[in-house]
Amino acid sequence: MNSPVNNAGSAMATYSALVSIAVADALGWQTEHLRRREDIERLFGVKFIDSFHKYQRRRGSLFQGYTDLVQEGDYSDDTQLTLATARSILPDGAFDPDYFSKVELPALKLYLRGGGSTVKAAVEKIARVKARWFTNFFTYRSPKGEKLDYRDSGANGVAMRIAPHALANRENPQKGVIGVWQNAVCTHGHPRAIVGALAHFWALILLLRQADADEESLIKGVLDGISESGLPQSWEFQQWKSLWEEGRGPGSFSRTYEETLKEYQRLVSLLRSHLFDEGDHPFLKEVGAFNRSTRGSGLVAAVAALFFFLKYRNDPRKAILRIVNHLGLDTDTIASMTAALYAASGQAVLPELWEKVQDYEYLASAQEGKLPRLPGADFFKKTKKATSLETHPPLEMAQRGGTISHSLFGSGRVLEVIKQNPPPKEVVMVRVRWDYGQSMVFTKLPQGSKRAK
Ligand SMILES: [Mg+2]
């Protein structure tokens, strides 16, 4: 287990994992919503995406829209949530769910880029005074207007953000498992989100421990790991489970959990049978990676990432670029999760792009998946008033090159100010680099308008 090769691989992984995740996320975000090949050429002037481009993304409603100006190398919610997780892991690898849920998540509302509908709802709902990490049950509406319940939310918003738990708990995965559960239930209630996250966690752990583990031992290791990673035994999770079962009956959670494990096993058997196919498409189609109701599932993301990693085992570049250019997939999430698997096995993912990705130095400064808390974190944790996190930094006064400050993010520098639409519909976008290393884009919408989805 401790061969020199693996030790070198592990050191590399702890250095590059968050950078690799961000590079793949930034590449994939460019194609996330595209459906036709012509769109790539129209938007980016190329036929194939293998680098970062500057482009415009329409956001908001038809009547109150604005254009998000994405710079070369900008990453999306996948990386933002991963960074929030990395800052919530304590020096011993345990997770601080109170800090994550009451400081990091509500603050994300100010700067989230491209998040899914569950995450957007969850970061609003967790700000309720009474909501704690294990009681954040809520209902919300999808972009299409369907009424949704936290308990049915099985999207990949958890799986995409849990790599730091594995990086920080290589020697003690059981501690990592508890962290993944705590992290998951802050935003998602359906076992699909949780099991997908656990599957990705176990694949990462196994690769961190043995970079050259063969396919069969990896697949079996993931299945064994998941089966030993059920609901943690603590009063918080007992309470969470009884809230989950309210109105659905005793045993309803366990039944849904068991069904989800079977669903994952079915996806894994499809992976086994398609691993040596010529192309990627038949497998992806069969697991539902293009189907509107299943493409965003945590299970599908986890199995797709494992598929690409195993299929192109020694060629991270090929795997990531195939994902990014496979329109219809959840490109940024699958690419960044696949990149994490390569990093865990000690393989560099597109190193020629590392220094071009947003916040490269900050991402590279993570140690074993851990980063220091936000500068004003202690104050916010003490006051327990997440509502004060709803305040933007003072954007009206921002001037390019000037300084800016915020009670949570500390002080920073204004990199860019962009104004769109004449008043009273003026939209102000300000890009800030905080002194602690992360940059964010804040958007001030006209008074009275709701935050754009
Ligand atoms: Mg994204």
Domains of the chain are: 11-364 (1.10.4080.10), 391-444 (2.30.30)
The pairs formed by 443-451 with CB atoms below 8 angstroms and a separation of 24 or more are: 443/66, 443/68, 444/392, 444/395, 444/396, 445/60, 445/64, 445/66, 446/64, 446/421, 449/64, 451/109
State the distance from the centre of ligand 1 to the C-alpha of 403, rounded, in angstroms.
Answer: 29
**Per-residue model confidence (pLDDT) at position 12:** 55
Question: Ligand 1 centre from 171 Cα, in Å?
Answer: 30
Which amino acid, one-letter code, is at 311? K
Question: What's the pTM value of the predicted model, to 2 decimals?
Answer: 0.95
Cα of 77 vs centre of ligand 1, distance in Å, is 5
What HEC string does 317-366 produce?
Answer: HHHHHHHHCCECECHHHHHHHHHHHHHHCCCCCCHHHHHHCCCHHHHHCC
DSSP codes joined into one string, 173-226: HHHHHHHHHHHHHTT--SHHHHHHHHHHHHHHHHHHH-TT--HHHHHHHHHHHH
Owner of token pair 């009063």:
235
How far apart (Å, rounded) are the C-alpha atoms in residues 110 and 124? 10
Task: Report the C-alpha gap between 81 and 162 in whole angstroms.
Answer: 9
pLDDT at 3: 37
* Nearest alpha-carbon partner for 384 in 17, 204, 129: 129
Half-sphere exposure of 210 (CA within 13 A, CB side): 10
Distance (angstroms) between ligand 1 centre and the Cα of 235 equals 33
Q: How far is CA 65 from the centre of its chain?
A: 25
* Token code pair at residue 375: 């500068």
Distance 242 CA to ligand 1 centre (A): 32
Q: Which two tokens stand for residue 267?
A: 């996806």
Question: What are the C-alpha distances in Å from 181 to residues 260, 279, 306?
Answer: 15, 35, 20
* pLDDT at res. 8: 45
Quote the tokens at residue 104.
């990091």
Give one word for 448, left, alpha or beta, with left for phi > 0 and alpha for psi -120 to 50: left
Q: DSSP labels for 32-78? A: TT--SHHHHHHHHSSSS--S---EEEEES-SSS-EEEEEPTT---HH
Query: Measured in angstroms, how far is the CA atom of residue 106 from the centroid of ligand 1?
Result: 18
Distance 320 CA to ligand 1 centre (A): 15
According to the model, what pLDDT value does residue 10 have?
Answer: 54
Distance from the alpha carbon of residue 109 to the mean position of ligand 1, in angstroms: 15
pLDDT at 2: 36
Task: Give the pLDDT confidence score for residue 96 in this predicted structure.
Answer: 97
Q: Which residue has the tokens 């994952």?
A: 264
Over the chain (453 residues), the average pLDDT of each successive run of 10 is 42 75 98 93 95 88 75 98 98 97 94 92 92 97 90 97 98 97 98 98 97 96 97 98 97 98 98 96 97 94 98 97 97 98 96 97 96 90 62 86 94 94 88 98 79 45
Ligand 1 mean position to 34 CA, how many Å? Answer: 13
CA 76–ligand 1 middle distance (angstroms):
5
CA of 239 to the centre of ligand 1 (A): 31
User: Any idea of the CA torsion for 146, 150, 156, 160, to the nearest 10 degrees?
Assistant: 130
Report CA(78)–ligand 1 centroid distance (Å). Answer: 5
Å from CA of 168 to ligand 1 middle: 23
Cis peptide before 424 (omega within 30 of 0): yes
Of 30, 119, 113, 58, the closest CA to residue 427 belongs to: 58
Question: How far does the centroid of ligand 1 lie from the alpha carbon of residue 288, in Å?
Answer: 19
pLDDT at position 325, please? 98
Instruction: Determine the distance separating the centroid of ligand 1 and the alpha carbon of 29, expressed in angstroms.
Output: 6
Tell me how far apart the alpha carbons of residues 265 and 218 are, in angstroms, rounded to a whole number. Answer: 14
CA of 233 relative to ligand 1 center, distance in Å = 32
